[in-house]
């Protein structure tokens, strides 16, 4: 069975998904593309012989669309996700699920009405082989339980439009989800520390910052968000267990030895670093849809990330940077 996918949002991320589904992955094809800019939709759809829509809801209603891929702006995710749920179609929604906790709750309400998990949130790091090996090692238990996790999220630079809260809701949100998944527990508190800021930033930006979080069992997580580090895109993670540690490698393929030393390359962007993880995510989603199953992060994961983001932003905006408790609703039975 070939899964017939409709894409909503023909921007860069959407086109990258079209590219991988068409040329790198098995079992699916893009049959429809929607964008509020119809020309943009057509530009993607036509070479594939797919239909183009100006309205995502029409695409969702199209009976030839088996499943929906949402790659619009975060603020309008709900507009596509909720109708897709109501139509009983699986959705792969780019992160964040919604930009507010309330939005995530509405999505969960819609899913609960249907009585079925249909939404996968695009937290692709869960599909990265390195994080997966780290999780396997933790779960094997030979090195004991986790006590701390140290994260670094470093980008070469960010444009002027990147504002301080994006360090949390756009950047650290990846570590927030990944840590919940890795440790298998909820984050209960968040705090933001402010180091000396770099002169490489735009004046208005707090950069770097450190987001410090605690889980239910007490695991202490820190996440250095440092988005003007110049030298590359560097996602680092060290899991500290009772009797050992594990850290992500650089995924480097060759080592060069020359006048700069013995060295390996640091990649430049999340596309380089997570290309395989994106592919793995979409491939596993295609296979799951074909079997009428759910895979990956669900709506509760999207909600949990949103409320941790809210707590961290509150600490960021607090003049004293105090720790803020994470307030969550009870988890609906569907997500147990």
Strand 51-53 to strand 67-70: parallel, antiparallel, or no bridges (unpaired)?
Answer: unpaired
Q: How far apart are CA 129 and CA 143, in angstroms?
A: 20
Q: How far apart are CA 148 and CA 56, in angstroms?
A: 43
Instruction: For residue 197, count CB atoms less than 10 angstroms from its CB and return exposed for 0-12, middle for 13-18, buried for 19 or more.
Output: middle
Q: Which two tokens stand for residue 68?
A: 């929906």
Cβ atoms within 10 Å of 104's Cβ, excluding its own: 28
Q: In this chain, which stretch among 52-60, 76-84, 96-104, 195-203 interacts with a second copy, using CB under 8 A?
A: 195-203
Which of 172, 212, 304, 309 is in the footprint of a second copy by CB under 8 A?
Answer: 212
Query: Which of 229, 103, 240 shows the shortest CA–CA distance to 158?
Result: 229
- Residue 151: alpha-carbon gap to chain centroid: 15
Q: Report the site for a second copy in 263-302 (rule: CB under 8 A).
A: 263-266, 276, 283, 287
Q: Does 43 bind a second copy (CB under 8 A)?
A: no
Nearest distance, CB of residue 249 and a second copy, angstroms? 5
Q: Report the site for a second copy in 72-131 (rule: CB under 8 A).
A: 129-130
Nearest distance, CB of residue 129 and a second copy, angstroms? 5
Q: Does 147 bind a second copy (CB under 8 A)?
A: yes
Nearest distance, CB of residue 256 and a second copy, angstroms? 5
Q: How far apart are CA 305 and CA 175, in angstroms?
A: 9
Nearest distance, CB of residue 325 and a second copy, angstroms? 13
Nearest distance, CB of residue 75 and a second copy, angstroms? 32
Q: Which is nearer to a second copy, 200 or 294 (CB)?
A: 200
Q: Which is nearer to a second copy, 88 or 259 (CB)?
A: 259
Q: Which two tokens stand for residue 205?
A: 């930006």
Q: In this chain, which stretch among 3-11, 91-99, 170-178, 247-255 interacts with a second copy, using CB under 8 A?
A: 247-255
Q: In this chain, which stretch among 10-18, 87-95, 147-155, 303-311 interacts with a second copy, using CB under 8 A?
A: 147-155
Q: Which is nearer to a second copy, 159 or 259 (CB)?
A: 259
Residues near a second copy (CB under 8 A), total: 73
Burial 119-146 (b: 16+ CB within 10 A, else e): bbbbbbbbbbebbbebbebbeeeebeeb
């Amino acid at each position: 069975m070939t899964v017939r996918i409709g894409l909503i949002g023909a921007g860069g991320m959407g086109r990258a998904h079209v590219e991988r589904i068409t040329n790198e992955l098995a079992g699916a094809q893009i049959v429809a593309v929607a964008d509020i800019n119809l020309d943009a939709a057509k530009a993607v759809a036509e070479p594939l012989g797919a239909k183009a829509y100006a309205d995502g809801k029409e695409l969702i209603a199209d009976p030839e669309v088996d499943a929906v891929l949402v790659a619009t702006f975060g603020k309008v995710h709900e507009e596509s996700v909720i109708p897709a749920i109501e139509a009983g179609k699986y959705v792969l929604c780019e992160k964040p699920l919604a930009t507010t906790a309330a939005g995530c709750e509405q999505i969960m309400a819609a899913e609960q009405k249907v009585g079925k998990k249909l939404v996968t949130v695009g937290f692709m790091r869960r599909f990265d082989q390195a994080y997966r090996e780290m999780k396997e090692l933790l779960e094997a238990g030979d090195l004991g339980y986790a006590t701390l996790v140290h994260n670094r999220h470093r980008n070469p630079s960010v444009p002027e439009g990147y504002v301080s809260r994006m360090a949390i809701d756009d950047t650290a949100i990846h570590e927030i989800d990944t840590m919940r998944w890795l440790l298998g527990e909820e984050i209960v508190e968040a705090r933001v520390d402010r180091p000396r800021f770099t002169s490489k930033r735009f004046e208005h930006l707090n950069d770097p910052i450190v987001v410090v979080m605690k889980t239910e069992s007490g695991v202490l997580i820190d996440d250095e968000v440092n988005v003007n580090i110049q030298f590359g895109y560097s996602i680092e993670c060290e899991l500290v267990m009772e009797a050992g540690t594990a850290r992500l490698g650089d995924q480097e393929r060759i080592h060069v030895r020359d006048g700069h030393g013995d060295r390996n390359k640091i990649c430049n962007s999340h596309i380089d670093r997570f290309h395989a993880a994106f592919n793995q995510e979409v491939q596993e989603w295609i296979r799951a849809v074909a079997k009428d199953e759910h895979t990956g992060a669900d709506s509760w994961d999207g909600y949990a990330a949103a409320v941790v983001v809210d707590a961290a932003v509150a600490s960021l905006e607090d003049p004293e940077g105090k720790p803020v408790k994470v307030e969550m609703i009870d988890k609906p039975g569907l997500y147990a």
